[in-house]
Structure 1
Amino acid sequence: MTELEKMLSGNLYFPSDKQLTALRKQCRQQLDILNSTCQTQHKQRSQLLKRLFGSTGKRLYVESSFKCDYGQNIHVGESFYANFNCVILDAAKVTIGDNCMLAPQVGIYTATHPIDPVQRATGIEFAKPITLGDNCWVGGMAVINPGVTLGNNVVVASGAVVTKSFPDNVVIGGNPAKIIKQIEPQRDVEN
């Protein structure tokens, strides 16, 4: 297996591999263009994101500065929005559903390292995929850790550190995050 194949399959891999290094460099070049494009140039920014990400819905908007490792492992649904200074470390697949919003300085991190110090010192790492269901709202400075899956309609409180998965229709917060309350979605909303 190549280091890229190892990375995407959740096995230990060396991020210093030439192919992975080249992919990250290519991503950073695309990010430099995106982050230097004026916020009022919505169409151009959207086109740049659609080339950067693995897949997207028709409508998406990401404020600058945005950072990620590869871009191609990020898959977002319809009406995706990420506010300022979002970081997505996408060494594994990141799947974000429809109508999701990320507040400023949200971190979504698939990459992780061995706990054993000798093994960690070699530079080896591994990654676990992250999934956010439809209609998720992640508050400012929240962190989503490797391997987490959030159900539909989940609200993550500002500053939360999400270390485990949660079901649909909950508000979570704290460090580590826990369920604060259940959400009863309204079926009919009148204007």
Structure 2
Amino acid sequence: MKSYRVQTLIECIVRNYNNRKVVIWGKCDSSDMISKALYEQHGIVTEYFIDSNTNLLNGTTVRSVMEIDRKSNDIYVVIPLRYHKSIIERLTAFGYKEVNDYAYSSHKPISITKDKMDDYSYSDIFGNKIVGDISNCKVIFRGYNSTITIGNSTNIQENVEIYIDDDVNVSIGNNLTIFKNTKWNFLPDSLVTLGDNCIFEQDGELTCGRNAEITIGSNILFGCRYWIVASIQSRIKIGNDCLFSRDVMIRTNDGHSIFDINTKKNINSALKEQYKKSVIISDHVWVGAKCTCLYNTKIHSGSIVGAHSLVKREFPNNCIIAGSPAKIIRRDIAWSKENNRDNMDIVNEKYIHYTLEVN
């Protein structure tokens, strides 16, 4: 939990607990941090923790949530967790009133549509901002101090949702097009940059994890049902003038942990190694239908990835790669977005090069 979130919560507790016993909802790193800060700054001792996870309960320091039922006269509850409507409903049923009887570190998600903005601008008391035309998009702020900036001539269809957590910075260029049924999710401290003339077709998902970064250049097309995931502390970088066909997956993690039985160590997703995980796709790369690009992928400019390929290493410029795992099947090629052309004059000269070897 960020220091400013801790201090804001501490101040709310001190103002409202009125010498009642302090109970913290959720046994996790954030709750331990709040408990320690309360004692060190104000001498307030945490009576106990409560949790809905029965595996954590020990009957003394961690108890069932039922322990606080109908005890608002004696107990002040602190919730240092992501906002959950079910927690609010449970507290209300137990007879607790917001602020007077409990402090929640997260605010209720704020859903912003174009009609709630003032001349292409929005800001709130939590430090969140929108600058630009969000068209038919719905932006949902779930945290604090985040900014999304969008350029001119936006075309966003219905049922497009962008979820934004704490300290997120999103910068989008001009002429953005997003088709219907799209969900983008930006976790705390993520950084997302999109260039001009980007098109994202329908039914796609894009997620930028905590402390992760996604950079996408200009003149980009993603076909329908794309799935882009930059996991915690990792990076995805896509150059200019690229084409991605339908059902393309780009991700910087495996989704689950794998361990070496002998050493008992994580061999695929240790947190300290995450910053090394990246997918880099250079300018003018064409990725075919149903391809998967995993971490360690690096594709140099002017290349083509054949349909249904699995990519997880570096490949040179101006070549065709295909297969699972992908391998080079042809070198010294150039390609154009236009179909049925008889000569190479249509190809921009800056993308015509002989294939060079990579280390």
Is the TM-score greater than 0.5? Answer: yes
**Which of 235, 240, 253 does residue 98 from structure 1 map onto?**
240
Which has more radius of gyration? 2
Equivalent residue for 1:62? 200
SS in 2 for 1:130: strand
Is this contact kept in 2: 1:104–1:139, CA < 8 A? yes
Closer, same or farther: CA 30–129 of 1 in aligned 2, 3 Å: farther
Closer, same or farther: CA 133–43 of 1 in aligned 2, 3 Å: closer
Q: Which moved more, 1:84-93 or 1:178-187?
A: 178-187
Count of matched residue pairs: 163
Is this contact kept in 2: 1:105–1:141, CA < 8 A? yes
1:187 deviates by 6.7
Partners in 1 of 2:320 and 2:139 — Cα distance? Answer: 35
Partners in 2 of 1:136 and 1:85 — Cα distance? Answer: 19
Normalized per residue, the structure richer in helix is 1
Question: Structure 2 matches for 1:84-123, cutoff 5 A?
Answer: 84-91=224-231, 92-112=234-254, 113-116=257-260, 118-119=264-265
Question: Structure 2 matches for 1:1-191, cutoff 5 A?
Answer: 36-37=159-160, 45=178, 54-70=192-208, 73-91=213-231, 92-112=234-254, 113-116=257-260, 118-119=264-265, 127=274, 128-185=277-334, 188-189=345-346
Is this contact kept in 2: 1:35–1:65, CA < 8 A? no
Partners in 2 of 1:94 and 1:162 — Cα distance? Answer: 14
Normalized per residue, the structure richer in strand is 2
Structure 2: segments with no counterpart, 5+ residues: 3-27, 31-80, 83-108, 110-137, 141-155, 161-174, 335-342, 348-359
Counterpart of 2:325, as a letter, is P
SS in 2 for 1:55: strand
Partners in 2 of 1:135 and 1:180 — Cα distance? Answer: 18
Residue deviations 1:96-154, cap 9 Å, x none?
0101111111111101344426545xx95554111001001111111111111100011
Q: Give the percent of matched residue pairs that are identical in Structure 1 and Structure 2.
A: 21
Partners in 1 of 2:259 and 2:205 — Cα distance? Answer: 26
Closer, same or farther: CA 114–156 of 1 in aligned 2, 3 Å: same
Closer, same or farther: CA 61–159 of 1 in aligned 2, 3 Å: same
Is this contact kept in 1: 2:177–2:200, CA < 8 A? no
Partners in 2 of 1:17 and 1:61 — Cα distance? Answer: 40
Partners in 2 of 1:110 and 1:17 — Cα distance? Answer: 25
Structure 1: segments with no counterpart, 5+ residues: 3-15
Please report the RMSD computed on the Cα atoms of aligned residues, expressed in angstroms: 4.0
Partners in 1 of 2:199 and 2:253 — Cα distance? Answer: 24
SS in 2 for 1:111: coil
> TM-score, normalization: structure 1?
0.68
